[in-house]
A and B are shown apart, each in its own frame.
Chain A
Amino acid sequence: MSQHSADNHSHDHGHGHHEEEAHGSIKSYTMGFILSLILTVIPMVIVFNDLMGRTGTLAVILITAVAQLFVQMWFFMHIRDEKGPRYNLMALSLGILLVITIIAGSVWIMSFNSYTQ
C-alpha cells in the first residue's frame, strides 16, 4: 500500500501511464487552460469597458464563473476518471450541498435589511 503513496509523488508527465489511472494528457490540460483563460477574459473585458448594465454584468460574471468551475473539474480534477467506490461523486454531492447552503443561506441571512427598512 505504501508503494502507492510514494509513487504518487514521483510519477510525472513522463512516466505517469504505467499505472492503472491515467492522469490526463497534455492536450486536455492545454484545452482546460485555454478555456479557463477565455472564461476569465470575457467578464474582465465586459467590466473594464462597461459593455453591459449592472444586471447583465453580474449575470455574465456568474455564468462564466460557474462555467469555469465545470471546466476545471472536467479537465484538471479528473472527475470522469473514477472506478470503484464513487468517492468523487459523494464528495461532489456534499460539496454542492454545502455551496448551495453557503450561498442561499448568506443571501437569506443578509437580506435582513429588506425586513426592517
Chain B
Amino acid sequence: MWDSIKEFAADFFVTGDPLIYGADVSIALVSIAIVFVLTYFKKWKWLWREWLTTVDHKKIGIMYLIASLLMLFRGGVDAILMRMQLALPDVEFLQADHYNAIFTTHGTIMILFMAMPMMFALFNMVVPLQIGARDVAFPFLNALSFWMFLFGAMLLNISFVIGGSPDAGWLSYPPLSELSGSPGRGQDFYIWGIQISGIGSLATGINFIVTILKMRAPGMKLMKMPLFSWSVLSASITILFAFPILTVTLALLFLDRYFGAHFFTLDGGGMSMLYVNLIWMWGHPEVYIVVLPAFGIFSEIVATFSRKTVFGYNSMVFAMMVISVLSFFTWVHHFYTMGSSADVNAFFAITTMAISIPTGVKIFNWLFTMYRGRIKFDLPMLWTMGFIPCFLVGGATGVMLAVAPANFQYHNSYFLVAHFHQVLIGGVVFGYLAGIYYWWPKLFGFKLDEKRGRWGFWFWNIGFYLCFFPQYFLGLDGMTRRVYTYGWDRGWAALNFASTAGAFLMGVGFIFQVWQIAYSVRKGERDKTGDIWNGRTLEWSIPSPPPVYNFARVPQVQHVDDWWREKEDRENGIVRPQPELEPIHMPKNSGIPFIMSSFWFLIGFGFTFDWIWLVIIGFLGVFGSMYARSFTYDVDYYIPVDEIKKTEQKLRGATT
C-alpha cells in the first residue's frame, strides 16, 4: 500500500530539484493563505456572486488583467532564471533539462497566457464603452471565454510541480514533441492547456467582431469608430481565421501521441516539417493579433495627449486591415532554412517586407499627429514615446531577417531572439502597459501614481536596451538560442553579463509598477469627472468606474471623436438634447461558464495522465452544463428607470 502511494507520488509530483520543492512550499502557503483570508472575512459568497459568475464585460476585463499580470510575473521569473544561468560561462545553476522546460514555458506563457489575456483585458475593459454599448454581443460566451482561458492556463501552469513541464520549445516541433522525443506528461499539458484556452480565444474573437459590427451606438458609422475599436476588429478577424489552424495542428499532434497516428512522425509516412509549416500559419498571424491592438492603443493615446485628431484616420484604418490580411501571407519567413525552393523563399521574403509598409505608415501618422500638438507627457504618452524608437529598431532588424539569403546567417541565433523580444516587448508590452495606464482610471476610478510609474518606466526602458542590444551582437558572434551554457573560450561572457543585468533592471521596473498599484489603491488621484485625461471618445463621457449598464442613455454619435466635439459644442453653448430614460435590458449572471470550464480542466488533466474515468466525468460535466444552459430561459432582467436615476445621481452629483 505505502509503496504504491510512493510510486504514484513519484510519478505525479515533480521531484529532484530544490527549486521545485521551494515552489511546492510557496504554492501550498499561498493557497492556504487565500482560503484563510476568504473564509476569515466571509468572502466566499461575495467571490462567487460578484466575480466567478459575472457576465459584466468590465469585471471580466479586470479578471483578465489580474490573470495576465500574474502570468507576466511567472514568465518574468522564468526569464530571470534563464538569464542567471547564462550570466557567465559554465554556471551550474540550472540543469540542461530544467533549462529546456523553463524556456518552453517562458515562451508559451508570455505569448498565450500573458499577451493574449492582457489584450482581452483591454478588449473587454474598453470596446463596449468606446462604441456606446451596454455589454458585448454575447455576455455569457464572454464569461465562458475567460474561464476557458483561465483553466487552460492553469493546466499548463501546474505542470511544473505536477507531472512535469513541457520542454520541447514554445511551439513544440515534432519529432521532439512526439512520444518518441517527449514521453513525459509535459507535452500533454501543453497540448490541452493551449487547446482549452484556444477555444476561449476563438470565442472572444467572434464575440468582438459581432459586438463591433452590430452594437455600435446609433450614428457611429464604421468610419467614425475610434481607432482602438478598429484595431480590435482587425485583430479579431485575424483570430477568427488563425486560431482554427492552431487547434487543428495541435489536435493532429495529440492524435499522434495518444492514438499512435503518423501525421508528424518520422516513420509511417509522417512528415514532421508539415507541423512547422502549419503551426506558423497560426504563429505568424498571432504576433500581429497581439500587436494590432497595441497600435490602436497608441492611436488613442497620441491623439488624446497631443490634443489633436489623429493624423490620417483613413490610412490608419486601411493599414490595420491590410496588416490583418497580409499577416496570413508571410509565415514561411520563420523557416527559410527548412529547404523549400528558392522561389518559395523569395515570395515570402517579398510579402514579409511588404507588411512593413503599412506599419511604417502608422508610425508616420503618429509622428504627424504629435507634430505641433501640445503634448502632455503623462504615463500613457511616456510609454508611447518609449515604444516608437524601440519598435522602429525592432522593425528594422525584422526587415534584415526578412532577407532570405541573409536569414541563413541570423536564423535561430540570439540576433533573432533580440529581434522578436524587441517587437514583442517594445510593441506589445509597452503598448498594453500604455493602455492600462490610460484606461485604469476609467475602470477603477483612480489614477496610477505618476512618480513610481516614471521610475518603473525608466527601469523598464534602460533595462530593455541593456538586456537585448547585447543579444544582437551575441547572435552575430555565433551564440544560438536555447543553449544552456557556454565556455569562456567563446568570448560571450561580457555581453551576456550585461544582458543579465538588463533583465534584472526590467524586473526592478516591474516591482516599481506593483508598488505603484499598491500605493495608488490608497493614495492615487481620484477621478471625479470621469474624464481625467480630457479624452476624445465615448468612454470618457460616463462616470469612472462606469455603472453596470455603462450608458444611462444610448449616445447618439455624430462625429469621429464625438465626445471631444460634444465638449466643444457645450463651450459654445450648444447642448445636445437628452432623451427620456428607459428601462435597461441586462443579462443575468451565470455560474455555468465557471463550472463548464472546470470540467474542461478535468478533461485535459485526464488525458494528460491517461485517466479515462476522469475524462468521462469531464465530458459528462461539459454536456450537462450545455444542457442546463440550453434550457435556461431566465437569462435577463430590466433595470427600472428609478434605479437608473438614483445611480446616476450618486455617480454624477445632482447635474443629470
Contacts and interface: CB of A to CB of B under 8 A. Distances in A.
A8 B138 contact: yes
Query: Which of A5, A10, A98 has most chain B Cβ within 10 Å?
Result: A5
Nearest to A108: B344
A106 B274 contact: yes
B636 A10 contact: yes
Given A2-B584, A98-B328, A115-B341, A8 B137 contact: yes
A5 B328 contact: no
Contacts of B214: 1, 4
A71 B554 CA distance: 40
Contact of A94 (B241, B339, B584): B241
Interface string A72-85: 00000000000001
Given A101-B328, A115-B341, A109 B135 contact: no
Contact residues of A: prevailing secondary structure: helix
Interface string B230-272: 0000000100010001000000000000000000000000010
Contacts of B138: 5, 8-9
A58 to B, nearest CB: 14
B325 A6 contact: no
Interface extent on B, as a size class? Answer: 35 or more
B344 A112 contact: yes
B417 interface: no
Contacts of A106: 274, 277-278
B586 A112 contact: no
B630 interface: yes
Contacts of A4: 137, 214-215
Nearest to A8: B138
B585 interface: yes
Contact of B587 (A5, A110, A111): A5
A56 to B, nearest CB: 19
Contacts of A9: 138, 140, 587, 635
Contact of B635 (A10, A85, A94): A10
A3 B585 contact: yes
Contact of B241 (A3, A6, A95, A109): A95
Nearest to A116: B339
Contact of B339 (A5, A105, A112): A112
A10 B138 CA distance: 11
A12 interface: yes
B267 to A, nearest CB: 17
B444 interface: no
A48 interface: no
Interface string B104-136: 000000000000000000000000000001111
Contacts of B587: 2, 5-6, 9
B332 interface: yes
A109 B585 contact: no
A2 B339 contact: no
Interface in A58-105: 85, 87, 94-95, 98, 101-102, 105
Contacts of A115: 341
Query: Which of B138, B213, B277, B340 has most chain A Cβ within 10 Å?
Result: B340
Interface string B128-154: 000001111111100000000000000
Interface string B275-296: 0011001000000000000000
Interface string B320-339: 00000100110110000011
A102 B331 CA distance: 10
Given A98-B241, A101-B328, A106-B278, A5 B139 contact: yes
Contacts of B237: 94
Contacts of B329: 101
A94 B325 contact: yes
A102 B281 CA distance: 8
A102 B242 CA distance: 11
Contacts of A102: 245, 281
B271 A110 contact: yes
A8 B270 CA distance: 44
B488 interface: no
Nearest to B237: A94
Contacts of A94: 237, 241, 325
A90 B567 CA distance: 37
B274 A6 contact: no
Interface in A1-46: 1-10, 12
Contacts of B635: 6, 9-10
Contacts of B136: 5
Contact of A5 (B135, B277, B281, B331): B135
Nearest to A90: B237
Nearest to B324: A94
Contact of A6 (B332, B338, B636): B636
Nearest to B211: A5
B273 interface: yes
Interface in B515-571: 554
A109 B525 CA distance: 57
Given A5-B138, A6-B636, A112-B340, A87 B584 contact: no
Contacts of A111: 341
Query: Which of A6, A94, A102 has most chain B Cβ within 10 Å?
Result: A6
A114 to B, nearest CB: 9
Contact of A109 (B133, B215, B245, B340): B340
A111 B215 CA distance: 46
Nearest to A3: B585
Contacts of B133: 1-2
A111 B341 CA distance: 8
A19 to B, nearest CB: 13
Interface in B625-648: 630, 633, 635-636
A109 B344 contact: yes
Contacts of B241: 94-95, 98
A1 B140 contact: no
25 contacts: A1-B215, A2-B135, A2-B585, A4-B215, A5-B135, A5-B136, A5-B215, A6-B139, A7-B636, A8-B138, A9-B138, A9-B587, A10-B633, A10-B635, A85-B213, A94-B241, A102-B245, A108-B340, A109-B277, A109-B340, A110-B271, A110-B273, A110-B274, A110-B340, A116-B339
8 tightest Cβ-Cβ pairs between the two chains A and B: A2-B134, A6-B636, A3-B585, A112-B340, A5-B137, A1-B215, A115-B341, A109-B340
Given A9-B587, A9-B635, 5 more contacts: A2-B215, A9-B138, A105-B331, A112-B340, A112-B344
Interface of B: 133-140, 213-215, 217, 237, 241, 245, 271, 273-274, 277-278, 281, 325, 328-329, 331-332, 338-341, 344, 554, 584-587, 630, 633, 635-636
